[in-house]
Amino acid sequence: MIFIKIFQKLDQFSGKVPLEHWVSRIAVNTCLSAIESERIRPELRHADLSEEEQAVVENLATSTEELAPDRQLASRQLVEHLLEFLKPAERLVIDLLYLQGRSVEEIHQITGLGMTAIKVRAFRARQKMKVQLSKLAETKS
Amino acid sequence: MKDVDLDRLLHAAAKSKDETPVELPFGFDTRVIALSRQTKNGNGAALAVLLRRITLFAAALIVLGIAGAYFEFDRSGDDIFASGNEFAIADSAIQDEVAQ
């Protein structure tokens, strides 16, 4: 996204400042805008999802079978959406524990968090993700 | 939504590799290089501006120095003439007294 913004605004680069400074300023502004937009609209709507992601939500609500391999990418994108609603520490734990498949012991060594803290954060994060998923499934129906 | 459903979702997501292409947009590097070259030329222009400013500043300093020197010379000239007049007045007074 930052690269695209830089590309779109290249004609606005005056050359009076070094290119690196200009690029870093755009990167910082883009990140701040993203944080601000998350703060303004903290809810994930069913309409925000792609068709594939919507299909994954429907599949989760209606079926108990494992998701098909062709749904894996959409599942990943859906999880990325859900992770956006977590605190950074919870996001990190979910990423390491479930997406990267690391053990609690490994996460303890990587992050320095206590075992109990990791489990508590994972539990809370899962609760939040379940709430968001339920909302998505409800808004669809 | 149950825990099992979330586990299914996370399990499927974990299987998917993050294959988002990390590539620069087409033509991006070319435009950046072109701008970088422009920037280098711009640096040359900036150097010329700097040199011009230095020259102007030096010229202003020279003018100020000349004006200061002229003023100082003028003032010390007055002192010389003033001391010469005083000497003449004193000499005249002495001569008057001697004549009396």
- A15 residue type, one letter: G
Tell me the per-residue pLDDT of A114-126, one tens digit each, with 9 for 90 and over. 999 999 999 999 9
Q: Which of B6, B18, B19 sits opposite A133 (nearest CB)?
A: B6
Token digits for B47?
């150097």
Tell me the per-residue pLDDT of B34-47, one tens digit each, with 9 for 90 and over. 776 766 655 566 77
Percent of chain B with pLDDT over 90: 16
With CA atoms as reference, report the closest residue to A98 among B13, B18, B2, B16: B13
d(CA A68, CA A53): 13
Entry field: residues in chain A: 141
- A6 residue type, one letter: I
Is the pTM higher than 0.80?
no
Q: Which of B16, B25, B31 sits opposite A76 (nearest CB)?
A: B16
**Residue A11 CA from chain centroid, whole number:** 32
A84: helix, strand or coil: coil
Q: What is the pLDDT of residue A125?
A: 93
Token digits for A50?
């792609």
Q: Which of A3, A15, A101 sits opposite B39 (nearest CB)?
A: A15
**Chain-chain contact of B8 with A126 (C-beta, under 8 angstroms):** no
**Chain-chain contact of A72 with B28 (C-beta, under 8 angstroms):** no
- B1 residue type, one letter: M
Token digits for B31?
């435009």
Entry field: residues in chain B: 100
With CA atoms as reference, report the closest residue to A22 among A11, A6, A7, A35: A6
The distance of A103 to chain B (nearest Cα, Å) reads 14
The distance of B49 to chain A (nearest Cα, Å) reads 13
Q: What is the pLDDT of residue A64?
A: 79
**Chain-chain contact of B12 with A66 (C-beta, under 8 angstroms):** yes
**A13 interfaces chain B, CB cutoff of 8 Å:** yes
| Beta carbons of A75 and B12 less than 8 angstroms apart | yes
**Chain-chain contact of A73 with B16 (C-beta, under 8 angstroms):** yes
